[in-house]
């Protein structure tokens, strides 16, 4: 990773922040983006204290022009792009029946179109360096999760997009990785949207029993070094994908029962 230029979207907290330190500690030059300036600058200062060269860009991945601007500022500063990590994302927690359709649109705009926009503008530079494009996806991109219909839809779309892109780029030397962490201790559940689009403000799961963001980041770093095409973390995640493929009807029941046990799950009321 020495002197590689790495763009990480959604890097002001959670997995994105952890990725900035994992890659930065390996000698990479880090570009971090996020919508909120204050926490983004805090991460930038922490990186600088460790001697990690970095550039913080306030940017909203759901806005196409912000992505074009992000790429141009990176090129102006560092002259190249080696790795793009599409990490920015948001979740939801509501039954589709009760959900305002703008919630679904918001998730698609951030999780899916954010990946499309950033990749579109960074791709010419990544082709030049024969670098890597990474999508931080989810088990929800392999197996639809109830109460998270919009989130699942956005991650299925991301997975399909990256698979198609990987195939298009097969003979270009560009590496495409789809990384699916499973349930990870981060703020994504706290920031998840409710039926009306407002932030839920708390987690419905025991964050202490989940994989740490730092471990996820280290595993993604290793996968990029190895130029792996995909990774599914946690035994629970691997079992969910396998059972869904082999026994889809059973998977429906298992997933329903598991998520009905979450705190305040609307599934438990049915």
What confidence tens digit (pLDDT) does each residue in 27-61 have? Answer: 999 999 999 999 999 999 999 999 999 999 999 99
2 pLDDT higher than 70: yes
72 pLDDT higher than 80: yes
Is residue 265 domain-resident? no
Catalytic annotation, pick one of 117, 121, 151, 256: 151
Mean pLDDT (the chain) is 91
228 pLDDT higher than 50: yes
Q: Which two tokens stand for residue 193?
A: 């949207």
Q: What is the pLDDT of residue 165?
A: 98
Q: What is the pLDDT of residue 262?
A: 84
Which residue has 């892109």 as its token pair?
A: 165
Is 125 one of the catalytic residues? no
Q: Which two tokens stand for residue 134?
A: 């990474």
More confident residue, 199 or 267: 267
Is residue 225 domain-resident? yes
Band of residue 181 on the pLDDT scale cut at 50, 70, 90: confident
Query: If you average pLDDT over residues 82-109, what whole number do you get?
Result: 95
Chain center to CA of 245: 23
Distance in angstroms (rounded) separating the CA atoms of residues 71 and 67: 6
Band of residue 195 on the pLDDT scale cut at 50, 70, 90: confident
SS3 (DSSP) at 101: helix
Q: Which two tokens stand for residue 202?
A: 């708390």
Is residue 129 domain-resident? yes
| Structural domains in the chain (count) | 1
Is residue 243 domain-resident? no
Is residue 178 domain-resident? yes
Is residue 155 domain-resident? yes
Is residue 153 domain-resident? yes
Give the burial class of 134: count Cβ atoms within 10 A of its Cβ; 0-12 exposed, 13-18 middle, 19 or more buried. Answer: buried
More confident residue, 77 or 208: 77
In 3D space, the residue among 179, 269, 267 whose CA is nearest the CA of residue 221 turns out to be 179
Is residue 11 domain-resident? yes
DSSP assignment letter at 189: T
CATH number, residue 169: 3.40.50.720
| Residue range(s) defining the domain that contains residue 196 | 5-235
207 pLDDT higher than 50: no
- Show Cβ contacts of residue 171 under 8 Å, excluding neighbours closer than 6 positions: none
Chain center to CA of 268: 29
Query: If you average pLDDT over residues 134-154, what whole number do you get?
Result: 94
């Amino acid at each position: 990773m020495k002197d590689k230029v790495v763009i990480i979207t959604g890097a002001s907290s959670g997995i994105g922040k952890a990725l900035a330190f994992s890659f930065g500690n390996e000698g990479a030059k880090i570009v971090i983006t996020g919508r909120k300036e204050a926490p983004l600058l805090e991460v930038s200062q922490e990186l600088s204290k460790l001697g990690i060269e970095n550039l913080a860009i306030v940017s909203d991945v759901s806005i196409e022009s912000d992505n074009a601007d992000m790429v141009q500022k990176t090129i102006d500063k560092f002259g190249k792009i080696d790795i793009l990590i599409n990490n920015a994302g948001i979740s939801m927690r509501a039954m589709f029946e009760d959900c305002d359709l703008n919630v679904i649109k918001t998730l698609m705009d951030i999780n899916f179109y954010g990946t499309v926009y950033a990749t579109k503008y960074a791709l010419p530079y990544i082709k030049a360096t024969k670098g890597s494009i990474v999508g931080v996806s989810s088990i929800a991109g392999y197996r639809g999760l109830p109460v998270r219909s919009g989130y699942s839809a956005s991650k299925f779309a991301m997975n399909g997009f990256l698979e198609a892109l990987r195939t298009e780029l097969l003979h270009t030397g560009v590496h495409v990785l789809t990384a699916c962490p499973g349930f990870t201790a981060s703020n994504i559940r706290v920031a998840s949207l409710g039926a009306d689009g407002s932030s839920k403000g708390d987690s419905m799961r025991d964050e202490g029993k989940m994989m740490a963001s730092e471990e996820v980041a280290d595993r993604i770093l290793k996968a990029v070094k190895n130029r792996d095409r995909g990774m599914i973390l946690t035994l629970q995640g691997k079992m969910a994908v396998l059972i869904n493929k082999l026994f889809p009807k059973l998977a429906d029941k298992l997933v329903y029962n598991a998520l009905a046990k979450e705190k305040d799950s609307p599934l438990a009321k049915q």
